[in-house]
Chain A
Amino acid sequence: MPTSDGDNTQQAIQQRIKPTLDKVAVEGIRAWLKAIGLPAPALSRAAIDEHIAKLIVKKRLAEDALEAALIGFEESSDMRIYLFRMDKREAKNASKSIAGRVAQFGIPIVNKRKFAGERTHPMSPVYAHIEGDLFRAKWAEEQESVKVNPQGTGVDKKPILKRAVLIADYSTGTAELRLNPPENVHSYQDGSGRPNAATYYGAYLQKAHDVLGCEATLLELRPVIKSLVEEDTPPLVRIHIDDHTNQKNYKTKTTGPKADIRDDPDWQLGYKKNGHTWAWDAQSFYWLPKVSSGFLTREVFTHIDAEESFVKVNADCSNDEVEYVVSQIRSR
């Protein structure tokens, strides 16, 4: 976000915040405003910019706080998240040498988190922020979305900025890697030279391990799904899609309407009889705000893929929302 040039008229502020605000969905901004106790009326894109500029002029919102929140959106929206557990003793040792590793990988250490900005090269380091045992680092790169145009006469190319964020708490032995799914043109290639999503994820997972500096194992997510299914009074989530495999190795995918799949009598029948032996492969669901102890002001979508050990959240999620999702998953 451009820095304040001292002109604090509503028009100047609006002009200053607009480019960054435009990258966040209106619904995401409204949820964040609600979460911090500010009015969040249903407004158009243009009107929400004006609404926020007014809040800043009236000093109900600080520009710094807005910037921090928007960096949070950048580091939380449309992310595949890998959750790790580290051995606490090893983590403690690794934390002592983190500054050295960060320097070795050419990541600038900063006092304040930053926007990714323009980064064209693959895995361009943006910043590392170290505060005691807490560590956060960000990388960014430009990839390209290439699609055949609707007429089929050519291709539409669009550059898209991708971010990856590594967050670790060495005192609790926890870490997470958040990264945007890749576009179809990027520099992570398979053996035959084609861009490959698995190679892209693998490269960042390797980088995360190298920077963390100790053994980090992926959190097993099947027990998390099992626990979320069992917690139904009151339910913490509304489950829309359930993927599981039964003991005969039949895979079942149940997709619900607006209601929870657990309300379907056929699903209930199978679950009651054999649910205790199902292998929970994946689920897509919404976290419900009414049982979130005030942490959520709207339903937040999450997909858990236990087969490939990752969690996915949608675009327009704030950092607080993703922290809630991660803490709920880790506590199960």
Chain B
Amino acid sequence: MSSPKFDRVKQLHPDLAELLDRLGRYIRVQASDGQQYIVPKLAAAALRLKDGEAFILLEMLAESGLLRRIFNVYCRKNNALLATVDSLDALDEIAHCDFCNCDHDSSELKVEVAFRLSDDGLKDIAA
């Protein structure tokens, strides 16, 4: 991944430039594989980082406008993805869970923070 926005993030954090390059390559591969989201724990596993480190790097790219933070909402019992929402306010509007055949309350849901490529990010990937 190379773009003015991405380069700006590296300039702001020169100590992290190498890590950001590795993360950029990972995002490119995931996107070209058709993955819709970049999940911090998966990025951490692939890049041999801690979850927290991967999250912070992804968050930096989100602040630059390359990524957008989203929330994957899972049924806690069956670990099935029910919805992807932009804000936690939308948790009250999660649709019926077909796997349990019920409407879960929030304590029965599990939320995972993930990142989606923004429109600008998508252009960068395509470039």
Contact = CB atoms under 8 A, between A and B. Distances in A.
Contact of B107 (A197, A222, A223, A307): A197
Interface in A97-122: none
Contacts of A245: 39, 41-42
B33 to A, nearest CB: 7
B2 interface: no
A253 B78 CA distance: 11
Chain B: interface size category: 10 to 19
Contacts of A248: 33, 35
Interface string B100-127: 0000011100100000000000000000
B52 A220 contact: yes
Nearest to B114: A249
A222 B46 CA distance: 13
Contacts of B96: none
A144 to B, nearest CB: 18
B51 interface: yes
Interface string A235-266: 00000000001011101010000000000000
Nearest to B34: A248
Interface string A174-207: 0000000000000000101010111000000000
B30 A222 contact: no
B94 interface: no
Q: For B35, B45, B106, which residue has the most chain A Cβ atoms within 10 angstroms?
A: B45
Contact of B42 (A197, A198, A253, A279): A279
Contact of B37 (A222, A249, A253, A307): A249
A6 B104 CA distance: 58
A307 B107 CA distance: 15
Given A190-B107, A198-B107, A249 B45 contact: no
A222 B50 CA distance: 9
A190 B41 contact: no
B2 to A, nearest CB: 23
A194 B105 CA distance: 11
A188 B50 CA distance: 32
Contacts of B79: 251, 253
Contacts of B9: none
Given A220-B50, A220-B52, A247-B30, A279 B107 contact: no
A73 interface: no
B1 interface: no
Given A190-B107, A198-B107, A277-B46, A220 B35 contact: no
Contacts of A32: none
23 contacts: A190-B106, A190-B107, A194-B105, A194-B107, A196-B107, A220-B51, A222-B45, A245-B39, A245-B41, A245-B42, A247-B42, A247-B45, A248-B33, A248-B35, A249-B37, A249-B39, A249-B42, A253-B79, A277-B46, A278-B45, A279-B39, A279-B45, A281-B41
Interface of A: 190, 192, 194, 196-198, 220, 222-223, 245, 247-249, 251, 253, 277-281, 307
